[in-house]
Amino acid sequence: MLTSGLHSAIYLQCALVLQHPREARDLGRSIAQRFRDENIQTVASPAIGGLIIGHEVARALGARFIWTERENGRMVLRRGFSVSPGERVLVVEDVVTTGGSTRETVAALKANGANVVAAASIIDRSSGKAEVGVPRVALVTLDVPSVDPAGCEACKRGEPAIKPGSRKDK
């Protein structure tokens, strides 16, 4: 069971590469390279998945780093984080499946007046289909089948759906 609620035979756990700071740094630099000329002032990521990679992208861009998190189910800025009107923000995630977390983070930032320039992730497992409301790039684009639980063949065979991710509020 993915964070999105969809079922898939394949789970991509970016934490396993991001546990190595040098790899995280290099992935951050690779994403940052795509936005070198975009005058990004702030990188923002949805917690928890986007925290490490977003921080590394911000470091590589010389930008500020903030994050959004869920409060009563809604993705919001907390901890005194704020954005200025028109502030140029890049949203960074680890993995995009449906784009839900990124889309909600983009919306939260726009609601606070930011100019969200683009979104980026290490992995896009939607084969490029996920829409997040701003231009989006990924270091690696995969077409990994994920299905609605109602149409899941593994569930029909009685195989238990397990959730290796970390989000507990869904």
Give residues in contact with Zn ion (CB under 5 A): 7, 152, 154-155, 161
Q: Which residues of 87-114 are buried (b: 16+ CB within 10 A; e: fewer)?
A: bbbbbbbbbbbbbbbbbbbbbbbeebeb
The type of residue at 142 is: L
Whole-Å CA distances, 6 to 3, 124, 162: 7, 15, 11
Closer of 51 and 154 to Zn ion (Cβ):
154
Instruction: Please report how close the Cβ of residue 149 comes to Zn ion at its closest, in angstroms.
Output: 5
Cα separation, 32 vs 53, whole angstroms: 10
Closer of 41 and 146 to Zn ion (Cβ):
146
Instruction: Please report how close the Cβ of residue 161 comes to Zn ion at its closest, in angstroms.
Output: 5
Residue closest to Zn ion (Cβ): 152
Q: Which residues contact 18 (CB under 8 A, 6 or more apart)?
A: 24, 27, 52, 53, 94
Instruction: Please report how close the Cβ of residue 106 comes to Zn ion at its closest, in angstroms.
Output: 29
Cα separation, 126 vs 144, whole angstroms: 7
Closer of 140 and 161 to Zn ion (Cβ):
161
Closer of 7 and 55 to Zn ion (Cβ):
7
149: phi then psi, degrees, rounded to nearest 5: -50, -35
Closer of 128 and 149 to Zn ion (Cβ):
149
Cα separation, 116 vs 87, whole angstroms: 8
Instruction: Please report how close the Cβ of residue 3 comes to Zn ion at its closest, in angstroms.
Output: 15
Instruction: Please report how close the Cβ of residue 79 comes to Zn ion at its closest, in angstroms.
Output: 36
